[in-house]
């Protein structure tokens, strides 16, 4: 995939030159609660990941794309995971660097990924899991038409505390 264009962002495949950016995001402890990571990643581990990230989504069952500005500055990542071709659905997660949040980049990236998922990958639906207190992500997913379809009570345990998690779903009624 060469890249996907939005109004204000582009989505592109990971390349080896993304190692430093990936290292920064994956080792940002403020994001660990969201990604359910408990320990830092080494650059060696992340480099091995980058070397295999180009394998077909149908084989890996996941796809991570870099969200970039129109001048190719990295802004964050957007992922498809639990890719299920038989049932035509996948999960979605997104992270934008804090200094770039609130500028519409997440909404643009999510809209582009949705179009790609439905029109190129042939998916029928996408879902996302969002912590109940993550109001920014809740507004993001609702702004592009995701529906809150469930609440998983005391679903996530982090730093000695349970938190509830919403399940959001977008069903493509065109397919």
Q: Computed from CA positions of residues 99, 66, 108, 152, in that sequence, does the dihedral angle turn out positive or negative?
A: negative
Rounded to an integer, the average pLDDT of 8-19 is 90
Give 87's DSSP letter.
Answer: T
pTM beyond 0.95: the answer is no
Give 17's DSSP letter.
Answer: G
Query: What is the distance between the terminal CA atoms of the chain, rounded to a whole angstrom?
Result: 23
Weakest mean pLDDT among 29-38, 50-59, 132-141:
29-38
β-pairing, 147-158 vs 125-131, is unpaired
Contact 126, 89 (CB under 8 A): yes
Distance CA 126, CA 149 (A): 12
Confidence (pLDDT) at 1: 40
Domains of the chain by start residue, with CATH: 4-171 (3.40.630.30)
Confidence (pLDDT) at 33: 61
If one compares 58 and 102, the residue with the highest pLDDT of the two is: 102
**What residues contact residue 13 under an 8 Å CB cut-off, 6+ apart?**
1, 3, 53, 54, 65, 66
Weakest mean pLDDT among 42-56, 61-75, 134-148:
42-56
Mean of the per-residue pLDDT values of the chain:
88
Confidence (pLDDT) at 29: 67
Write the pLDDT tens digit of every residue in 79-128. 999 999 999 999 999 999 989 999 999 999 999 999 999 999 999 999 99
**Within 10 A of 65 (CB to CB), how many other CB atoms are there?**
24
């Amino acid at each position: 995939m060469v890249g996907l264009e939005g109004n204000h962002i582009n989505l592109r495949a990971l390349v080896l030159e993304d190692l430093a950016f990936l290292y920064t995001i994956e080792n940002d402890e403020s994001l660990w609660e969201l990604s359910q990571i408990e320990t830092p990643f080494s650059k060696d581990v992340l480099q091995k990941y980058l070397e295999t990230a180009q394998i077909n989504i149908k084989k890996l069952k996941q796809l991570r794309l870099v969200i970039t500005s129109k001048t190719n500055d990295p802004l964050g990542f957007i992922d498809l995971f639990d890719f299920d071709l038989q049932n035509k659905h996948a999960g979605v997660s997104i992270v934008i660097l804090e200094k770039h949040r609130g500028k519409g980049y997440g909404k643009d990236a999510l809209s582009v990924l949705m179009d790609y998922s439905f029109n190129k990958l042939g998916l029928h639906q996408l879902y996302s899991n969002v912590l109940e207190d993550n109001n920014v992500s809740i507004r993001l997913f609702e702004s592009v038409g995701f529906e809150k379809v469930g609440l998983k009570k005391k679903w996530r345990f982090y730093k000695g505390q349970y938190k509830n998690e919403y399940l959001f779903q977008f069903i493509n009624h065109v397919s």
